[in-house]
Amino acid sequence: MRKFAVSALLAASALAQNPAAPAFEVGSVKINRQEPFVDRDLNVKGATLTMRNLNMRVIAAWAYNLPWSQIAGQSWIDSDRFDIIAKAEKPLSEDEMRPLLQTLLAERFHFASHRESRNVGVLALTVPKGGHKMTPSKKTDGPSGARQDPVRGTIIEGVTLAELCENMSHDANSIPLVDMTGLTGRFDFTFNIQKYRDAMRARAMSEPRPSEAELLLSFMQDLISGELGLKVESRRAPVEFLVIDRADQKPTEN
């Protein structure tokens, strides 16, 4: 009886210590050999996650909710591309689906990673001597909002600068944007990106041709200075990275 009781307790303890990781009901993983940027897709619709023609940097960044620039690994994480179509047992939000994708990466790519802080080049958001153009928001709680105005462009309401930097860093492939303004609270402002696109195109065609990082920096400087009245300058700062220790270039497919 005592032996049986001890065995039962050990089994129960093992189950308690090792809960099953959240996982998709079904998942399809394939290597994509199309040209880069052709038919790229990333969306969550109901219970289904669809990723097409995406490299491992983008996939890992989405799975762990980090900007692309904060993923580190071997060179192939930018060159090799994959299709992932997976279905959960019920409709989920993006944030609810991320842990399921982490499990799929571990199972099909033998993905393993760790986090570490690195002192790297960043785009620092700062306040110039003359102050900024933003309006303190009357929205003090709840999610920030965005709406389109036919003349003014995108109107952002109730956003913190930390949230703005995080969102813009997700869209920037190379350099993180870090809030160093010291400003707290929420703000309202407009983003009329169209006003600055012509200048970016002109720079892209100039000689000598600027690099992608140089184009991104000049565009963000124009946009943020013109719309928010803030400065963007190159600095170095500690940033958290997800370092991919292992991921198979040839995953376990269907």
254 residues of the chain, pLDDT tens digit each: 444 444 444 444 544 555 677 889 999 999 999 887 778 899 999 999 999 999 999 999 999 998 888 999 999 998 999 999 999 999 999 999 999 999 999 999 999 999 999 999 888 999 999 999 999 998 887 788 888 888 888 888 999 998 888 888 765 556 788 999 999 999 999 988 888 888 888 888 888 887 766 777 788 888 899 999 999 888 999 999 999 999 999 998 77
**DSSP classification of residue 59:** H
Structure confidence at residue 217 (pLDDT): 76
Listing DSSP states for 184-251 in one string gives: -S-EEEEE-THHHHHHHHHHHHSSSPPPHHHHHHHHHHHHHHHHH--EEEEEEEEEEEEEEEE--SS-
Q: Which two tokens stand for residue 1?
A: 């009886």
**Partners of 187 in the β-ladder:** 136, 159
How confident is the model over 61-84, as pLDDT tens digits? 999 998 888 999 999 998 999 999
**Partners of 159 in the β-ladder:** 187
Q: Which residues have a Cβ under 8 Å from the Cβ of 186 and sit 6 or more positions away?
A: 136, 137, 139, 140, 144, 158, 159, 160
Is the alpha carbon torsion for 241, 235, 170, 55 positive or negative? Answer: negative
How confident is the model over 178-191, as pLDDT tens digits? 999 999 999 999 98
Structure confidence at residue 172 (pLDDT): 56
Q: Which residues have a Cβ under 8 Å from the Cβ of 44 and sit 6 or more positions away?
A: 50, 92, 93, 94, 97
Q: Considering the entire predicted model, what is its pTM?
A: 0.70
Structure confidence at residue 71 (pLDDT): 93
Q: Which of 56, 53, 130 is nearest to 85 (CA)?
A: 53
Domain positions in the chain? 15-117+242-246, 119-239
**DSSP classification of residue 34:** S
